[in-house]
């Protein structure tokens, strides 16, 4: 799957990104606790997450590909739904 970031925003709690994938637009939401599972960002503060949000999404791409289609909001993490 190829993901192209159209927009990405860090609100202090989660990253929300609109991505284009194979002709469709999908919005993904990734909370801080998931970001902190990436070894290089395990203790990142808010300004670091904001500055490197594109890199964070690229590092999470394998995880994003596993988000099930039944999760319409594409939330990643413990509050991701069923």
Find the DSSP H helices in 1-82.
32-35, 46-51, 53-64
pTM for this entry:
0.73
- Report pLDDT for 63: 77
Q: Is the pLDDT of residue 78 over 50?
A: no
pLDDT digits (tens, 9 = 90+) for 3-58: 678 899 999 999 998 878 777 788 888 899 999 999 999 999 999 999 999 999 88
The H-or-E segment that residue 32 falls in is helix 32-35
- Report pLDDT for 26: 80
Q: Where are the domains of the chain?
A: 4-64
- Report pLDDT for 67: 66
Q: At 69, is the pLDDT very low, low, confident or very high (cuts 50, 70, 90)?
A: low
DSSP conformation letters of 46-59:
HHHHHHTHHHHHHH
């Amino acid at each position: 799957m190829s993901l192209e970031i159209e927009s990405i925003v860090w609100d202090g709690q989660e990253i929300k990104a609109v991505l284009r994938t194979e002709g469709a637009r999908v919005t993904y939401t990734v909370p801080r606790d998931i970001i902190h599972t990436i070894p290089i960002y395990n203790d990142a503060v808010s300004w670091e997450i904001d500055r490197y949000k594109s890199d964070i999404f690229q590092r999470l791409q394998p995880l994003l590909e596993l988000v099930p289609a039944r999760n319409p909001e594409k939330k990643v993490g413990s509050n991701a739904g069923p």
